[in-house]
Amino acid sequence: MVADESCHCGCALATWAEGDNRNPVGIIGCGSYLPPRVVSNEEVAAAAGVPPGWIEERTGILSRRFADEDQAASDLAAHACAEALEDAGITAADVSVIVLATSTPDSPQPPTACVLQHRIGAHGAAAFDVNAVCSGFVFALDVARRMVADGGFALVVGVDVYSRIIDPADRRTAVLFGDGAGAVVLGPSATGAIHGVRLASFGSHRELIGVPAGGSRIPPSKESLLAGEHYFQMNGRAVREFVKQEVPGAVHDFIGHLPVRADAVRHFIPHQANRIMLGELATEIGLPNARMHETVREFGNTGAASIPVTLAAARGEIARGDDVLLTAFGGGMALGLALVRW
């Protein structure tokens, strides 16, 4: 079944139910990697000009991880993929597709997925990047599951190194973000499958989150560097309002199109944007029997990595047959929802 709709704001929505899969495709392995360097609230608070207690009060975050100077996105991703492949019981040579979600690639070209492909030895795999900012992992998940619907294995990766693009003096962003990578292996699954995915884009809100310079609109220049236009920028208050307005209704509508009742969902894994916001979101969505999993308290917001990092942390508590709701939102603005049977 394919259902194409428009939401009240006119954005394109698409829901694909389980019957779309020519063969059942599920998550058969997952892994994550967080750099060893722990960055405390005290450290980021000094540069941002706020008290350390202000960060915990406003965000619920206690620490985050920063990559070492010699680590790029592909380095973090390689560690996460190694763990995911081991968990799935396959090797890189078995992988036919790599879809890597990031908004902080190693470089504008080539795709970071190609750097990763070479590094892990997945020489037979097609490899490319997607950029839907913090929703990127769910976008990549849907692309990859369709590409292996006739067989084969896919690596789906979410990775970001936000410490490279954050202005340490900007308290709106510097206190929130950290670095990390998460990965899953998709493949034939007799017991689990991806029930469905919904992707939505809200281009009218594109200016809420972004990096103004560095592309073809504002190429790198001395002037753009001096103006700080290569730093990540976010209107946090407007983003919070967007999440409150759009996400709960989208989740209920999404589940309503699938053969799964809301009270059957056992696990809720949202994008780890802000711990205070997540508590409010869980209340608004109101899944009665679902446990919300979080890693934001110790890892901060890791962008496209946050959902697979949290999924890897929760895997020991997810039983076979459990239904897991993944809910991502971020720059674009973009929204990605997926319901996965473990």
pLDDT tens column, 42-59: 999 999 999 999 999 999
Work out whether the CA dihedral 271, 191, 194, 243 comes out positive or negative. Answer: negative
3-class secondary structure, 285 = helix
Tell me: do 236 and 325 sit in the same domain.
yes
Q: Total structural domains in the chain?
A: 2
Q: Are residues 169 and 231 in the same domain?
A: no
| CATH code, domain with 42 | 3.40.47.10
Just list the catalytic residues: 134, 271, 301
In the predicted model, what is the mean pLDDT of the chain? 92
* pLDDT for the residue 192: 80
- Nearest-angstrom CA–CA distance, 143 and 157: 12
- How far apart CA 342 and CA 192 sit, in angstroms, is 5
> What is the torsional sign of CA 292, 187, 115, 128?
negative
Residues 268 and 316 in one domain: yes
pTM of full prediction above 0.85: yes
- Do 162 and 233 fall within a single domain? no
- What is the signed CA dihedral for 318, 320, 323, 325, rounded to 10 degrees? 40
Give me the domain span that covers residue 152. Answer: 25-190
Torsion angles phi and psi, residue 320, rounded to 5: -60, 130
Instruction: Please indicate, yes or no, whether residues 100 and 246 belong to a single structural domain of this protein.
Output: no
Q: Per-residue confidence at 23, pLDDT binned at 50, 70, 90?
A: confident
